[in-house]
Structure 1
Amino acid sequence: MTHDTPPDLLVLHAVRTTGYASTLRLADLLGLPAAVVEEHLEDARARGWVTEAAFADDRGWTLTDAGKARGEERLAAELDAAAARADFAQIYREFLPANAIVGATCTAWQLTELGVGEVPADADAIVAALHEPARVLAELEQRLTAHLTRFSGYHRRFSTALAAAATNPAWITGTDRDSAHRVWFELHEDLIATLGIER
């Protein structure tokens, strides 16, 4: 039986998986009204779980150490309530080979963008190499969402980024958009936070 994560935990957890995000980006990511997200963020701030930072005209939320600990505590309870710990541990083991491909491929592209390395990577080859992880993700997401609905959407976002990268390589690793690298990073963070492990 699948489990729906309560909105307050969704918001707190999204701050962790994104690392830094505005209220509007969190609302868009979660499919929740911005006012609801703002309410949960302000409650979390009052409890010392999140803090708001500003860089020039950009404002966003980050998790505190106390917020990370609180989130992991609730995620662990949620995973156990769903009786899914063993399944998630197995899924994570199956995720790691695809993660290695994404990591190596995205690093190769980042080095190419920086002009580092003897042989520049080809954008078309990079995108092609990411299609196998996308296929693996489609299957793993089905198994993840059979337990926790909040894992829905990663495959759609990753595939959308790959489709855009076919004509604009910025969608491979760009930090200013929902790039393939960014989506995969958030998925990895979601998995390790849920399991209470380190990268």
Structure 2
Amino acid sequence: MLDTADFVLHGLTLRQLATVDQLAEILDLDAETTSARLEQAVADGRAIAGRGAFMITPAGRAHLDSRYPADFAEYRSNDELVSVLADFEQGINKQMLALMTSWQTIAIDGNDQPNDHSDAGYDGKVIDKLARLHDRAGALLAPFADADPLAKRFISRLDAALERVDRGEHDYVSSVRIDSYHTVWYQMHEHLLRTMGEARDE
């Protein structure tokens, strides 16, 4: 497993520009610990800071790449996790990408147009599909949630985003400005890939 310093640095690969509070939320760490590790990463040349936010440097990425094989060896040698990630990549993740396209666009006279979200019936059907896909994703990723506290954290954050969607806060489907369902899904996907030593294929 990654030590705390590398764990915080790893967080910067999941949200590439993050404040202390944003990163602490992702990683389920206290702000004081997160801040201290980020400041040390800056001192070590593994991160840069500006205007209250932090970003990983190429040196930071190289450092993590050198640590991942040993620190995630237990996960990478777990045949069940390898199989689950393969199923996730080929099935549910592709379906999620298609669903987000459906949320962001709508067919008008046979042509895809930006969805202005004026058709509540259309949006409702997409949200229903999102809920069903969410249930399937939770079941599929249960072995990761059992093995990896951060994977479990991501699933909880997806639960929270979907709850807000269900309450009518539809920005929580895909807005990049908040911890929307799509934003958290992207971060989770990146974490799973880095954990298992796989490359993003889309």
For this structure pair, what is the TM-score category when the shorter chain's length is used for normalisation? 0.7 to 0.9
Q: Is the 8 A contact 1:72 1:196 kept in 2?
A: no
Deviation per CA, 1:61-93: give whole Å up to 9, x if none.
112222122223322212214564533321211
Matched, 1:143 2:143: yes
After TM superposition, list the pairs within 5 Å mapping 1:20-169 onto structure 2.
20-54=17-51, 59-81=52-74, 84-96=77-89, 97-111=91-105, 117-118=112-113, 120=115, 122-166=122-166, 167-169=168-170
Matched residue pairs, number?
A: 189
Matched with 1:192 is 193
Q: Which runs of 4+ in 1 moved over 4 A?
A: 118-121
1:95 CA drift (Å) = 0.9
After alignment, is 118-127 or 137-146 more displaced?
Answer: 118-127
- Scaled by the length of structure 2, the TM-score of the pair is 0.82
Give the secondary structure class of the aligned counterpart of 1:117: strand
Deviation per CA, 1:6-59: give whole Å up to 9, x if none.
3222211111111221111111222222111111111111222111243xxxx3
Q: Is the 8 A contact 2:75 2:196 kept in 1?
A: no
After alignment, is 180-189 or 39-48 more displaced?
Answer: 39-48
Q: Is the 8 A contact 2:47 2:56 kept in 1?
A: yes
1:99 CA drift (Å) = 0.6
Deviation per CA, 1:122-148: give whole Å up to 9, x if none.
221221111233123322442013332
Matched, 1:181 2:182: yes
Deviation per CA, 1:99-158: give whole Å up to 9, x if none.
11111111222235xxx8248472212211112331233224420133322211222211
By relative contact order (CA 8 Å, sep 6+), the higher-ranking structure is 1
Deviation per CA, 1:140-185: give whole Å up to 9, x if none.
4420133322211222211221221131210100112211101110
Q: Is the 8 A contact 2:75 2:195 kept in 1?
A: no
Give the secondary structure class of the aligned counterpart of 1:150: helix
After alignment, is 36-45 or 132-141 more displaced?
Answer: 132-141
Identity %: 22
- In structure 2, relative to structure 1, the CA distance for the partners of 1:129 and 1:164 (3 Å cut) is same
Structure 2 distance, partners of 1:103, 1:93, is: 16
Larger-Rg structure: 2
Gaps of 5+ in 1: none
- In structure 2, relative to structure 1, the CA distance for the partners of 1:141 and 1:9 (3 Å cut) is farther
Give the secondary structure class of the aligned counterpart of 1:73: helix
- Give 1:72's aligned amino acid: D
